[in-house]
Amino acid sequence: MGILGIDPGTLKMGYGVLGDGPNPHADDYGVIALPSKMPLEQRLYQLHTHILNLIAIFQPTAVAVEQPFMGKGERSFPGAALAVGQAQAVVFIGAASQGIPIFKYAPAQVKSAVADYGAASKEQMREIVAATLGLDEIPQSDAADALAVGLCHLIQRQADVALGRIITPGQER
């Protein structure tokens, strides 16, 4: 089973392909970087093409995508969230066109699952991801975020399987 983790963005989109098993591992990861001078519609098209290529090459059974962080009050980021939403849509369309299920995770949910601490710093997350996956080097921030989203999905799936095995009183075997 392979998971394609995505950290969406219209200028930089991180991706990570994780293989499942007793010890999760990274099959590939990186950042799709596009020039800011390129028109938005061309960047979205390029991202769509890259997503379809990743799906064709690695044939993931699930796509895990980080949700945009909106913020609140004076610390809200509606413009950034809109750009992330546009990049998310490209990923959703690419995965849906290939019949691959999509799972969405909030940033705090990813941090809690991977670092066991919902307010972990970017640097802490990068180091934890590298250590967990046995990487020789610490990945770029966007790639590390994508790998963390993929790890979050694997951890969530393992928890769901474990919870499905719990026998409640009164249940027949």
Positions annotated as catalytic residues are 7, 66, 142
CA angle at 65 for the pair 64 and 70, rounded to the nearest 5°? 150
Q: What residue spans of the chain are helical by DSSP H? A: 40-58, 78-97, 107-115, 122-133, 141-164
The C-alpha atoms of residue 79 and residue 81 are separated, in whole angstroms, by 5
Q: Which of 128, 138, 142, 165 is nearest to 24 (CA)?
A: 128
Cα-Cα-Cα-Cα dihedral of 93, 94, 98, 101, to 10°? -70
The C-alpha atoms of residue 65 and residue 80 are separated, in whole angstroms, by 16
| 158 DSSP assignment | H
- Which pairing describes strands 2-7 and 62-66: parallel, antiparallel, or unpaired? parallel
- Which pairing describes strands 2-7 and 12-19: parallel, antiparallel, or unpaired? antiparallel
